[in-house]
Structure 1
Amino acid sequence: MCGRYAASRSPEELAELFGVERWEPEEALAPDWNVAPTKQVRIVLDRPLKDAAGPRPVRQLRVVKWGLVPSWAANADGAARMINARAETLAEKPSFRRPFAQRRCIVPADGYYEWATGHDERRLEVEGLGKRSRKQPYFVLPADGSVLAMAGIYEFWRDPAVPAGRPGAWWATCSVVTTEAETAPLAAAPADGPRSLSEIHPRMPLALTPDRWDAWLDPANTDADGALQELLAPPPAGLMRAYPVSTAVSSVRNNGPGLLAELDAPEEATLF
């Protein structure tokens, strides 16, 4: 899964990386090294501009809330549970099928955090001998330091409690698409640590390589059962690296670039 990530690049840098034509300065977000569910996040999307003379899609950088609210939802109570969408069932789940076909986006990140449970602690969990397991956070990022382009979907929801035309009447929300974690060896695997992403967690964000960006964002691609399925294939193995970081990231109250500092070895017996 993807439940926390870091996003410190400026909108100007993201605009250059993704070929963005339009972004609103008033929607600028501060760098965030501990992005958590329900926070405001940046996404890249292709969509016609409001009141535009024609239907030409324009690549935009927008700010939305992380945690998808389906357009038909009676309320937004389940947003925090909809931060991820499994690639294998995107075309089937009622909450995700229409956004997958019509409203796909890229969620740019520096990398994401995942918590690994040690072998002994996993055994205790399986045997029912431990209520809380010791978990070590890892930061997972492209080995070459490039942007992590996480596949995403977005949706619009009308809040019935807010009068039309008022701020907050419409919500824009998103989910990060996930896939099975790589079992291939990590690039620069940490000493005495996991040798693959699957040893950290069985799921990972679906990372889109640059050659898939345009096709994923193209709103004209609407075949959820056909052509779009090809874009859900995992990226080539060996593109990612992971290293242990401080358990300070486990608290959403902590933030700052220090959270990305690489540890020489996992911390000892820290409860999460």
Structure 2
Amino acid sequence: MMCGRIEMLFDGMKQTLDDLFEVPLSIQTNLDLRPTDTVTCITRTCPETSPSINAANPSSTTIATISHSANIAPLTVINSHWGIKPTWSKKIIINAQGETAADKATFANAFKQQRCIIPCSAWFEWRDERQSKKQKYRFSHAANKPLFMAGILYPAENQLVTLTIKPNDTCAQYHQRMPLFIPSTEINNWLYHDVSQLQPLLNPLPDKWIKVSRA
């Protein structure tokens, strides 16, 4: 299972997030966030999508409406569950390939209408090493900054799927895929642009941005 663990630890990063979104974000610490767990994500707010989010959860998953300082656009913070289980699948699907999600029936509508980002501090992968033992590795921002993992939302089910892409050279040593991350300066473009304009964002983070350590 690719990228099946995410870390939500924002000690030392909270001010960066608050400054970026201009309001305090409430993200619960979770050092081992797993599929089906609740995850905080940020998505666009617009007439055709925000009612569906609220209607999907009468208790209201909407936490706040915020503005990105670089390009004022309304955003909404919600809590959702990581993973979907289509009727044809025998197991939970937690991620989709970013390069092809727009063309796959299971993901196309969500990719077109309800993309999101998941602020996180790290993700984990396991690699087979000597004596067939698997070693766990932690991947984080080299400058200890928040990472913004790309995803797509299914509001009616209150669920989401994360997106993956081909890895950069650093991450390729550990896995054949890596999560798709959106630079903070491109968040509004990722959430609001038409699908036809997203290709420049479907690239891995530069190698120098990633720090890898044994976990």
TM-score (norm 2): 0.78
Letter in 2 for 1:67: G
Point out the structure with max Rg over C-alpha.
1
Find the aligned partners of 2:139 and 2:185 in 1 and give their Cα distance. 21
Find the aligned partners of 2:20 and 2:36 in 1 and give their Cα distance. 24
- Partner residue in 2 for 1:213: 187
- Partner residue in 2 for 1:35: 33
The reply to whether residue 152 of structure 1 matches residue 126 of structure 2 is no
SS of equivalent residue, structure 2 residue 158: strand
Q: Which of 162, 168, 188 is matched with 1:182 structurally? A: 168
Letter in 2 for 1:84: N
The reply to whether residue 115 of structure 1 matches residue 126 of structure 2 is yes
Between 206-215 and 103-112, report the one with greater CA deviation. Answer: 206-215
The reply to whether residue 232 of structure 1 matches residue 186 of structure 2 is no
SS of equivalent residue, structure 2 residue 78: strand
Note the C-alpha offset of 1:142: 0.4
- Partner residue in 2 for 1:99: 110
Note the C-alpha offset of 1:17: 4.7
Find the aligned partners of 1:116 and 1:5 in 2 and give their Cα distance. 16
Runs of 4+ aligned structure 1 residues displaced above 2 Å come to 12-15, 20-23, 48-51, 233-237
Q: Which of 166, 169, 174 is matched with 1:200 structurally? A: 174
Identity between Structure 1 and Structure 2 (%) = 26
Find the aligned partners of 1:179 and 1:209 in 2 and give their Cα distance. 15
- Unpaired runs of 5+ in structure 2? 55-71
User: Which protein has the bigger helix share?
Assistant: 2
Q: Which of 16, 38, 45 is matched with 2:18 structurally? A: 16
User: Which protein has the bigger strand share?
Assistant: 2
The reply to whether residue 6 of structure 1 matches residue 16 of structure 2 is no
Note the C-alpha offset of 1:144: 0.2
- Partner residue in 1 for 2:67: none
Find the aligned partners of 1:140 and 1:15 in 2 and give their Cα distance. 19
CA contact (8 A) 1:177 1:205 kept: yes
CA contact (8 A) 1:179 1:234 kept: yes
Q: 1:148 to 1:154 in 2, by over 3 A?
A: same
User: For residues 187-226 of structure 1, what are the alpha-carbon distances to aligned partners after superposition, in whole Å with 9 as ceiling and x for unaligned?
Assistant: xxxxxxxxx31111111111111221110111xx23x3x2
Note the C-alpha offset of 1:9: 2.9
Note the C-alpha offset of 1:244: 0.3
RMSD over aligned Cα atoms: 2.8
TM-score (norm 1): 0.62
Letter in 1 for 2:126: W
Letter in 2 for 1:43: C
Q: 1:17 to 1:2 in 2, by over 3 A?
A: farther
Q: 1:37 to 1:235 in 2, by over 3 A?
A: same
CA contact (8 A) 2:8 2:28 kept: no
How many residues matched?
191
